[in-house]
Chains A and B, each alone.
Chain A
Amino acid sequence: EVQLVQSGAEVKKPGESLRISCKASGYSFANYWIGWVRQMPGKGLEWMGIIYPGDPDTRYSPSFQGQVTISADKAIATAYLQWSSLKASDSAIYYCTRQRSYILGGRHSYHYENWGQGTLVTVSS
């Protein structure tokens, strides 16, 4: 059974650094893209970026490029999302999610099959 288990809720002050984690099990971690998705309070889902732990190749949404760092440690099957200096506007729930990707009908197919339980990050002075 595929499982993505995320680290617990965090309360931080503006300017502090933070790294949250996503521990994967039940599949070959290095061979599937892992994505991060933000959900601000009362708002919709926003795709932040993805990483392929086997390379590791990393892609960011322009909205999040330079604001966060996505990394992975394939030795312990764990992906990370990191901030060097948090802002109040980073307060949100963050989800990790495993991407399925393959060729179908001559086109690339992508979807997000498995999701972590979410990590609530609260940034407040």
Chain B
Amino acid sequence: QSVLTQPPSVSAAPGQRVTISCSGSSSNIGDNYVSWYQQLSGTAPRLLIYDNNKRPSEIPDRISGSKSGTSATLGITGLQAGDEGDYYCGTWDRSLSVWVFGGGTKLTVL
């Protein structure tokens, strides 16, 4: 059971928009920056978003991140078949003194 809660799955049609939530507490999301990672089938995780809402240069601007209080959200617009995979939020937890990942959300493009 992760300290960061994500929905197990989300789905949407190609071209549509989807959001993935990540809920935590004052000792993790509420107090630290959030990052998001994409893991396509059979591959290593890849950084999508860091510092709540910044994108590495190679990540397209249809990917976005936001944070409010103790929750964070990943948004993907213009869904493509290649976006199918698992998505994880992560942050530092100062009470546990560990990095924590959310349980992961499986994105299905219908």
Q: Interface on A for B, CB 8 Å cutoff? A: 35, 37, 44-47, 50, 59, 61-62, 95, 97, 100, 104, 107-118
Q: Which of B32, B33, B100 has the most CB of A within 10 A?
A: B33
CB < 8 Å A-B pair total = 72
State whether B44 touches A95 (Cβ < 8 A): yes
Shortest Cβ gap from A120 to chain B (Å): 11
> Which B13-45 residues sit within 8 Å CB-CB of chain A?
31-33, 35, 37, 39, 44-45
Chain B residues closer than 8 Å to A97, beta-carbon distance: 45
Which residue on B lies nearest to A64, using beta carbons? B98
Shortest Cβ gap from A57 to chain B (Å): 13
Q: Interface on B for A, CB 8 Å cutoff? A: 2, 31-33, 35, 37, 39, 44-47, 50-51, 56, 86, 88, 90-92, 96-104
Interface of A: prevailing SS? strand
State whether A108 touches B32 (Cβ < 8 A): yes
- With the chains together, A58 CA to B101 CA distance in Å? 20
Chain B residues closer than 8 Å to A116, beta-carbon distance: 44
What are 24 A-B contacts with C-beta separation under 8 Å?
A37-B45, A44-B2, A44-B104, A45-B39, A45-B90, A45-B104, A47-B101, A62-B96, A95-B44, A97-B45, A107-B32, A107-B33, A110-B32, A110-B33, A111-B47, A111-B50, A111-B51, A112-B35, A112-B47, A112-B90, A113-B50, A113-B56, A115-B47, A117-B44
Which residue on B lies nearest to A6, using beta carbons? B44
Chain B residues closer than 8 Å to A114, beta-carbon distance: 47
State whether A112 touches B37 (Cβ < 8 A): yes
